[in-house]
């Protein structure tokens, strides 16, 4: 089991927590020591839920290992039933409890509890978080869905669907469900059940009443969707409505199954993304090199939006969940890039460093990686942190989601107008690129290598921008650049100066040029502009 400071996915019992916490009236009893009890941190501090997650731990300690821990588990189960009176109880073991080989399923069966009990097998050393969420949701559906429930006759009623896959701690799941529900309502389609997020045990019972299913998040909902297909004969929509094109494809598929006319939603400008991306200053949008990494569903969807709707060039594409590597590889082939399938954030960092993209679309890990390389970044996928749960309505799916994508992805880039202004004010005493941020006054004392100010900096403006991912204090002194070439380089806006420096040095090295002169800089510029 890989141990690292950062992980893309936690153990499978965290996935089970995400499902239990998303639902109403469901409680999760986890056989685990004190060290595995971080549910409160995940859900109340990151997602900012207004109530504690419905998770109880046995919290056995080292001294308990010499005694009968099974009795500890059974006592905890009885306490949960008495205190919380759940409609259904999930039981499982964490990675630590797995090592002592207690059997929560067998122990709970002996108690003969009056509530439905759903035992979970969560192999912590073989599987990860998304699998744990998918398996938990599948087991809940398998245990609670009434096999005798079927859709009512269509005469005199609207079509109804199930929305499958949203969980607690998911990236914009809450807002996506609201946005998709609104789109379906405009088509005259009702939502029977959205699950697990917001669903109760009674809701799961009536899943069979839907005419068909919509799979919003395959990583967590696909196992349940397959079960419903086999058991109830329900068809499943698997197109993910992220971006304008995918949203239109999604609505056309939904309308065809529901027997309704999608035209009112497919005509006209439903989102600002299309026109805005066509009308925007191409200097800072068209052809921007973008690196994309996340869970497979969001990464593949993001690549389509970036390439087809925003005019970006996809230079890197990857995911961390190997279960969906096939879909990612197909998409990577479409964009002519090598797929990156890994859960090692250091491998992702190395790829970003090698490719030097102008924009990164990723997880919270890529946010930190991009920050170190001074590359703009937008988060598109879990794992995420508290800032990715905004108070405002901020979906990724549907037409409004496309607007959110435009704002989130494009605004971190520098606009063409900004480029002109930066050039105009390069030598200004207050706004030159060696000065600190204006809202910080003149208190900034950070001093990094680079000396990138375009003129004489006043004594109080001590900020220096690092224009390289690998600081090398002796580079100016090693005689590689002539003074004239260095002065010309400093005329380039700071946010692309590092790239210009690296490209020029690469060009010189490949041609055996020992000293970069003004002509070398211009030759390199012309070479990379082709």
Mean pLDDT computed over 503-507 = 92
Residue 434: band (very low, low, confident or very high) from pLDDT cuts 50, 70, 90: low
Domains 12-128 and 273-413 share a fold: yes
Residue 317: band (very low, low, confident or very high) from pLDDT cuts 50, 70, 90: very high
pLDDT in tens, 435-458: 554 444 444 443 333 333 333 444
Tell me, yes or no, if 102 is annotated catalytic.
no
- Residue 44 has a pLDDT of 78
483: tokens are 């003074």
Closest CA to 196 of 372, 367, 25: 25
Q: How far apart are CA 59 and CA 39, in angstroms?
A: 13
CATH classification for the domain delimited by 273-413, as one of 3.40.50.1980, 1.10.357.10, 3.40.1010.10, 3.40.309.10: 3.40.50.1980
For the chain, the structural domain boundaries read 12-128, 160-266, 273-413, 417-529
Residue 175: band (very low, low, confident or very high) from pLDDT cuts 50, 70, 90: very high
- Residue 490 has a pLDDT of 84
Which are the contacts of 485, defined by CB distance < 8 A and separation ≥ 6? 516, 517, 518, 520, 521
Q: Which of 40, 68, 146, 281 is catalytic?
A: 281
Mean pLDDT computed over 405-433 = 64
- Residue 450 has a pLDDT of 39
Residue 264: band (very low, low, confident or very high) from pLDDT cuts 50, 70, 90: confident
pLDDT in tens, 121-170: 988 788 999 999 999 999 999 999 999 999 998 888 999 999 999 999 99
508: tokens are 């010189």
Q: Check whether 197 has a pLDDT greater than 80.
A: yes
Q: Which of the listed ranges 61-65, 74-78, 94-98, 463-467 does the model predict with the highest average pLDDT?
A: 74-78
What CATH number does the domain located at 160-266 have? 3.40.50.1980
Q: How far apart are CA 262 and CA 271, in angstroms?
A: 16
- Residue 209 has a pLDDT of 97
E-strand stretches of 310-394: 313-319, 339-341, 359-362, 377-379
pTM over 0.85: no
Q: Check whether 252 has a pLDDT greater than 60.
A: yes
Q: Check whether 474 has a pLDDT greater than 50.
A: no
Nearest 5 degrees, angle CA 8-CA 14-CA 15? Answer: 85
Q: pLDDT averaged over the chain?
A: 84
What CATH number does the domain located at 417-529 have? 1.10.8.550
Q: Which of the listed ranges 259-273, 363-377, 480-494 does the model predict with the highest average pLDDT?
A: 363-377
- Residue 468 has a pLDDT of 45
pLDDT in tens, 25-39: 999 998 887 766 677
12-128 architecture in CATH?
A: 3-Layer(aba) Sandwich (3.40)
């Amino acid at each position: 089991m890989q141990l690292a400071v950062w992980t893309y996915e936690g153990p499978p019992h965290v996935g089970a927590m995400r499902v239990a916490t998303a639902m109403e009236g469901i409680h999760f009893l986890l056989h685990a020591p004190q060290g595995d009890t971080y549910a409160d941190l995940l859900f109340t501090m990151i997602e900012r839920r207004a109530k504690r997650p419905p998770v109880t731990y046995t919290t056995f300690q080292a001294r308990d290992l010499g005694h009968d821990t099974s009795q500890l588990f059974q006592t905890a189960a009885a306490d949960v039933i008495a205190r919380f009176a759940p409609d259904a109880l999930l039981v499982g073991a964490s990675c630590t409890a797995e090592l002592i080989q207690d059997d929560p399923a067998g122990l709970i069966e002996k108690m003969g509890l009056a509530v439905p009990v759903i035992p979970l097998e969560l192999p912590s050393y073989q599987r990860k978080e998304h699998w744990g969420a998918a398996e938990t949701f599948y087991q809940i559906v398998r245990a609670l869905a009434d096999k005798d429930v079927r859709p009512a006759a269509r005469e005199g009623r609207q079509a109804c669907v199930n929305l499958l896959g949203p969980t607690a701690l998911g990236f914009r799941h809450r807002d996506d469900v609201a946005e998709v529900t609104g789109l379906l309502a405009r088509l005259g389609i009702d939502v029977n059940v959205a699950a697990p997020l917001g669903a109760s045990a009674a809701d799961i019972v009536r899943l069979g009443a839907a005419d068909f299913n919509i799979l919003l998040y395959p990583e967590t909902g696909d196992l349940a969707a397959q079960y419903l297909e086999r058991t109830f004969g329900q068809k499943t929509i698997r197109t993910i409505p992220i971006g304008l094109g995918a949203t239109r494809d999604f609505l056309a598929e939904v309308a065809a199954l529901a027997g309704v006319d999608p035209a009112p939603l497919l005509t006209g400008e439903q989102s600002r993304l299309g026109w805005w991306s066509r009308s925007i200053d191409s200097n800072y949008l068209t052809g921007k090199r973008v690196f994309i990494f996340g869970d497979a569903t969001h990464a593949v969807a993001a690549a389509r939006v970036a390439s087809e709707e925003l005019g970006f060039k996809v230079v890197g594409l990857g995911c961390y969940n190997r279960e969906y590597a096939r879909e990612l590889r197909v998409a990577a082939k479409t964009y002519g890039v090598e797929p990156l399938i890994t859960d090692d954030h250091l491998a992702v960092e190395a790829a970003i460093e090698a490719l030097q993209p102008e924009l990164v679309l990723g997880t919270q890990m890529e946010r930190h990686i991009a920050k170190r390389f001074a590359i703009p970044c937008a988060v598109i996928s879990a794992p995420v942190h508290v800032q990715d749960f905004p108070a405002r309505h901020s979906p990724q799916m549907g037409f409004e989601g496309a607007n959110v994508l435009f704002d989130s992805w494009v605004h971190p880039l520098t606009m063409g107008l900004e480029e002109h202004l930066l050039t105009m004010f390069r030598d200004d005493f207050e706004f030159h690129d060696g000065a600190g941020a204006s809202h910080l006054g003149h208190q900034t004392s950070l001093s990094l290598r680079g000396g990138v100010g375009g003129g004489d900096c006043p004594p109080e403006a001590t900020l220096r921008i690092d224009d390289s991912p690998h600081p090398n204090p002796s580079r100016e002194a090693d005689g590689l650049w002539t003074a004239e070439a260095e002065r010309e380089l400093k005329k380039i806006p700071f946010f692309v100066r590092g790239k210009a420096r690296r490209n020029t040095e690469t060009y010189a090295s490949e041609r055996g040029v020992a000293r970069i002169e003004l002509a070398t800089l211009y030759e390199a510029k012309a070479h990379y502009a082709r």
